[in-house]
Amino acid sequence: MAADTARAKIASMNEITTQSGNAPTAAAATIADAVLQALCFDANGLVPAIAQQHDTGEVLMMAWMNRDAVRETLATGRVCYFSRSRGRLWRKGESSGQTQHLKELRVDCDGDTLLLLVQQDGVACHTGRRNCFFRAARDGGLIEIAAPEVSPEALYGHSHG
């Protein structure tokens, strides 16, 4: 496939046709039921979720969701993960203010991975970088290819989220 065709295709695929409001609705509950039914959670009740900036295609981060995180994200339009280290729901940006707004949720062929098209407020990475994938295998080693846009101290004080 030519690159232009591929680009046109992803642009077309990223046109969001629903999810017009952010308030919990009966429709959101129905969608959540359909999504949860399609998902295969792992032994810990989690699925990996890839967050992608909806308009640029930048892969921002990967985190995990449990059933409640999926439900809350679909109901509120604000992305909520499950923090494995903290053992609880993690409303992205709850500490840092760097929230993610859901544009569309997609499920993969096997139902074991989510792709979240999001609008990222500020930076996605707790290091202050726009995305978490800032180390690249280049030049005989692993090098940093992006600098922080904001200091972690400015984001969190002494916490993390």
Strand 135-138 to 114-120 pairing: unpaired
> Does residue 141 belong to the site contacting its own copies (CB under 8 A)?
yes
Q: How many CA atoms lie within 13 A of 113 on its CB side?
A: 7
> Does residue 6 belong to the site contacting its own copies (CB under 8 A)?
yes
Q: How far apart are CA 104 and CA 111, in angstroms?
A: 16
Residue in 57, 68, 86, 151 binding its own copies, rule: CB under 8 A = 57
Site for its own copies in 79-118 (CB under 8 A): 104-110, 113, 115
> Does residue 147 belong to the site contacting its own copies (CB under 8 A)?
no
In the complex, minimum distance from the CB of residue 69 to its own copies, in angstroms, rounded to a whole number: 14
Q: How far apart are CA 93 and CA 74, in angstroms?
A: 17
Answer whether 49's CB lies under 8 Å from 64's CB. yes
Q: Which stretch binds its own copies (CB under 8 A): 47-55, 75-83, 89-97, 153-161?
A: 47-55
Q: How far apart are CA 39 and CA 67, in angstroms?
A: 9
Residue in 41, 89, 99, 134 binding its own copies, rule: CB under 8 A = 134
Q: Which helix (H) or strand (E) segment is 82 a member of?
A: strand 80-83
Given the rule CB under 8 A, which residues bind its own copies? 1, 3, 6-7, 9-10, 13, 17-19, 27, 30-31, 34-35, 38, 48, 50, 52-53, 55-59, 61-62, 74, 104-110, 113, 115, 125-127, 129-130, 132-142, 145-146
